[in-house]
Amino acid sequence: MIKRIALVAIVCIAVALGAKAQKFALVDMEYILKNVPAYEMANEQLNQLSLRWQKEVEAVGAEAQTMYQNFLADKVFLTDEQVKKREEEIVAKEKEATELRYKYFGPEGELYKKRQSLLKPVQDDVYNAIKKVAEEKGYQAIFDRASASDIIYASPRIDVSNEVLAKLGYSN
Find residue 144's DSSP bridge partners. 27
Residue 97 lies in a domain: yes
Tens digit of each residue's pLDDT (9 = 90 or more) over 10-53: 544 544 444 456 788 888 898 999 999 999 999 999 999 999 99
Residue 108 sits in which domain range?
17-168
What whole-number distance in Å separates Cα of residue 163 and Cα of residue 167? 6
Residue 7 lies in a domain: no
Taking the CA atoms of residue 27, residue 32, residue 33 and residue 39 in that order, the dihedral angle to the nearest 10 degrees is -130
Residue 109 lies in a domain: yes
Residue 124 lies in a domain: yes
Residue 12 lies in a domain: no
% of the chain beyond a pLDDT of 90: 58
Tens digit of each residue's pLDDT (9 = 90 or more) over 56-68: 999 999 999 999 9
Residue 102 lies in a domain: yes
Closest among 126, 141, 128, 112 to 53, alpha carbons compared: 112
Find residue 25's DSSP bridge partners. 142
CB 164 within 8 A of CB 133: yes
Q: What is the model's pTM? A: 0.68
- How many domains are contained in the chain? 1
What whole-number distance in Å separates Cα of residue 11 and Cα of residue 68? 78
Confidence band of 159 (pLDDT split at 50, 70, 90): confident
Amino acid, res. 13: I
